[in-house]
């Protein structure tokens, strides 16, 4: 019995050692991959080796893509940090004097990249496996089936496992066997990826699929896939509308305060927003030059700078020009229009007429993949959150602070507020500076999603006035509803009628609405001495 147990133990060890050898990169495979006689031979060896998750192969593939592989006789060397290593064993080695460079053409480079993605299918990191699946989706063929089967069997994440099985079905839908094609079509019906729709449309092209039953299954699968994709498209339009609405909210929030309190048609409001965007640009350059290690935090530092810069310019405008024109709307409109031209020309003189480059910090780059055809950009998500925070801050300031009490009092009844001792001129200046500062915050946010140039403010001034008028003068709640409503409505109409007609239709809607309800969505509460 002890002899039998010893024999069983040695046979188990031998089988494990043999399996390890079978799954390891061999010297012959490394030589053929690096310097085979033909591209076909090298590709075949690479595809055969890539069905196994081997660290040595991953190192060789990366080194070939980087150009750090040399061949001498039957040995392949990988160069790293000025030293040479054996490509198979990874042991340090002396590079022979006659070692030759490895050349790769475009086809082999594509195969190396596909092999690199295949090896990443077994990475412990989920996001790396997800990226590998997306890369393989573009170069999927029958040679990948063994690899995909192994990866699907080892995958623990249900969503990635479903993607791997769908990728297998995408390959088998063109298989010679009719039963395999039929089963693959039925499996593809559960997919919601745009690539699956393209594949099904390709298979349904005239003359591609000869079997009628398989064509029917492909059509049924296409209907189900398009139904799932339609939800992603609808949610994408909704998010884009909310994103545009949050931008309009930031732009119009300051205007709602100044226009509601002072009755001033400030045509320079867009240029105050532009000042906030350029202040962000200046802060970015300062961080890049003096604090490169803290560059990702420049946006946070730019927020108070943009607010103070725009608020300071707004206070100067109110004290120097606008306070002399209260009660004269036409003169105010013309004066602020002239001020806007002066501000634009000043910016052109200081920064040039061309757009200035702004870079997103790393934490605002990329996006959140919600569905296969719906990715929410981080920079737009950040702007939506930022708009909500600014709105909450303004609402608290108006409702809970002494300045907010004075602003509400002057807005509802200026003469009575003055009679009880409120310095209305000081309130006007502070309110105008607050509205200008909020415009600066809008410019800071817009700098992360669009171009920053001297004409930035002109793109949003009309829309911001439409939001204020539609929501109701001096009403924060009306501004919020109008901004989000117009943003979503505009994007829905764009998908149906195009950008230009959508703008016209939104304008006509607002004109008709104001004809029926001149006070806007939310009427002013309380009594007014001017009413």
* pLDDT tens-digit series, residues 422-462: 887 888 888 889 989 999 999 999 888 878 888 888 878 88
Give the mean model confidence (pLDDT) for residues 73-88. Answer: 85
174: which DSSP letter? T
What is the average pLDDT score of the chain? 81
- Cα separation, 109 vs 104, in Å, equals 6
pLDDT tens by residue, 5-27: 443 333 433 333 333 334 467 88
Please say if the pLDDT value at position 30 is more than 50: yes
- Max CA separation in the chain (angstroms): 111
How many other C-beta atoms lie within 10 A of the C-beta of residue 82?
5
Name the range with the highest mean pLDDT among 49-53, 143-147, 477-481.
477-481
Q: Cα separation of 213 and 241, whole Å?
A: 42
DSSP-derived letter for residue 354 is: S
pLDDT at 527: 46
Q: Does 409 or 294 have the greater pLDDT score?
A: 294
289 vs 294: CA distance, rounded Å: 11
* Mean pLDDT of the region 410-418: 78
Cα–Cα distance for residue pair 203/173, rounded to 1 Å: 8
Averaged over 492-511, what is the pLDDT? 80
Q: How many whole angstroms separate alpha carbon 405 and alpha carbon 389?
A: 21
CB count within 10 Å of CB 24 equals: 16
Q: Which residues sit opposite 80 in a β-bridge?
A: 83
pLDDT of residue 306: 94
CA distance 342 to 347: 9
What are the residue boundaries of the structural domains of the chain, listed by start? 27-174, 232-516
Residue bearing tokens 């959140």: 368
State how far the Cα of 333 lies from the Cα of 52, in Å rounded to an integer. Answer: 73
Residue 44 neighbours by CB under 8 Å, 6+ apart: none
pLDDT at site 398: 84
Region 90-111: mean pLDDT is: 85
Q: What is the 3-state secondary structure (H, E, C) of 203-222?
A: HCCCCCCCCHHHHHHHHHHH
Please return the burial class of 164, using the count of CB atoms within 10 Å of its CB with bins 0-12, 13-18 and 19+. buried
383, pLDDT greater than 70: yes
> If you average pLDDT over residues 500-506, what whole number do you get?
80
Query: What percentage of residues in the chain have a pLDDT greater than 70?
Result: 91
Q: Which residue is associated with the tokens 């790769």?
A: 104
Structure confidence at residue 269 (pLDDT)? 87
Q: Give the global pTM.
A: 0.71
**Residues 186, 217 contacting (CB under 8 angstroms):** yes
Instruction: Over range 290-299, report the average pLDDT.
Output: 89
Instruction: Please determine, looking at this structure, whether the domain spanning 232-516 carries the CATH number 1.10.3470.
Output: yes
Mean pLDDT of 254-265: 76
Name the pLDDT band for 139 (thresholds 50, 70, 90).
low
* Overall average pLDDT of the 359-378 stretch: 84
pLDDT score recorded for residue 80 = 84
H-run or E-run covering 93: strand 92-93
Q: Residue-wise over 222-237: b if at least 16 C-beta within 10 A, else e?
A: bebbeebbeebeeebe
Collapsing DSSP to helix, strand or coil, 84 comes out as strand
Helices assigned H by DSSP within 23-83: 27-35, 39-49, 55-66
CA nearest to 159, candidates 206, 119, 191, 125 = 191
Q: What is the DSSP string of 409-438?
A: HHHH-HHHHHHTT--HHHHHHHHHHHHHHH
């Amino acid at each position: 019995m002890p002899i039998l147990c010893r024999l069983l133990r040695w046979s188990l060890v031998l089988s494990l050692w043999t399996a390890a050898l079978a799954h390891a990169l061999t010297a012959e495979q490394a030589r053929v991959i690096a310097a085979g006689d033909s591209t076909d031979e090298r590709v075949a060896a690479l595809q055969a080796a890539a069905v196994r998750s081997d660290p040595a192969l991953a190192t060789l593939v990366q080194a070939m893509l980087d150009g750090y592989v040399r061949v001498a006789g039957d040995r392949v060397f990988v160069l790293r940090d000025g030293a040479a290593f054996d490509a198979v064993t990874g042991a340090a080695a002396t590079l022979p004097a006659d070692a030759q460079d490895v050349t790769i053409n475009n086809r082999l480079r594509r195969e190396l990249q596909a092999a690199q993605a295949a090896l990443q299918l077994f990475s412990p990191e989920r996001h790396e496996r997800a990226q590998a699946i997306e890369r393989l989706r573009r170069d999927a063929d029958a040679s990948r089936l063994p690899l995909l089967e192994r990866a699907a069997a080892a995958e623990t994440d249900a969503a990635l496992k479903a993607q791997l099985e769908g990728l297998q079905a995408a390959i088998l839908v063109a298989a010679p066997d009719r039963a395999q094609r039929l089963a693959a079509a039925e499996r593809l019906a559960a997919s919601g990826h745009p690539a699956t729709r393209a594949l099904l449309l390709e298979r349904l092209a005239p003359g591609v699929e000869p079997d009628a039953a398989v064509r029917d299954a492909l059509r049924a699968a296409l209907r189900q896939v398009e139904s799932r994709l339609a939800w992603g498209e609808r949610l994408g339009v909704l998010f884009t509308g909310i994103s545009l609405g949050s931008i309009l909210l930031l732009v119009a929030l300051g205007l709602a305060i100044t226009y509601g309190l002072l009755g001033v048609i400030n045509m320079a409001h867009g240029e105050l927003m532009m000042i906030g965007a350029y202040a962000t640009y200046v802060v970015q350059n300062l961080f890049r030059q003096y604090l490169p290690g803290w560059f990702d935090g420049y946006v946070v530092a730019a927020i108070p700078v943009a607010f103070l810069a725009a608020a300071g310019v707004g206070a100067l405008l109110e004290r120097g020009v606008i306070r002399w024109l209260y009660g004269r709307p036409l003169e105010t409109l013309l004066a602020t229009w002239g001020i806007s031209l002066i501000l634009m020309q000043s910016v052109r003189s200081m920064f040039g007429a061309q757009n200035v480059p702004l870079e997103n910090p790393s934490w605002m780059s990329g996006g959140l993949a919600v569905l296969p055809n719906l990715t929410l950009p981080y920079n737009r998500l950040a702007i939506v959150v930022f708009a909500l925070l600014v709105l909450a801050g303004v609402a608290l300031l108006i409702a809970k602070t002494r300045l907010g009490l004075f602003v509400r009092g002057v807005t509802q009844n200026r003469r009575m507020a003055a009679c009880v001792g409120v310095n209305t001129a000081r309130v006007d200046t502070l309110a105008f500076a607050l509205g200008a500062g909020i415009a600066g915050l809008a410019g800071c946010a817009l700098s992360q999603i669009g171009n920053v140039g001297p004409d930035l403010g002109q793109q949003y001034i009309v829309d911001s006035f439409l939001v204020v008028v539609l929501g109701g003068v001096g009403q924060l709640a009306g501004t919020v509803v109008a901004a989000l409503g117009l943003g979503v409505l505009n994007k829905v109409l764009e998908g149906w009628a195009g950008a230009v007609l959508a703008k016209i239709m939104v304008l006509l809607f607002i004109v008709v609405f104001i004809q029926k309800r001149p006070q806007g969505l939310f009427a002013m509460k309380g009594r007014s001495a001017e009413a």
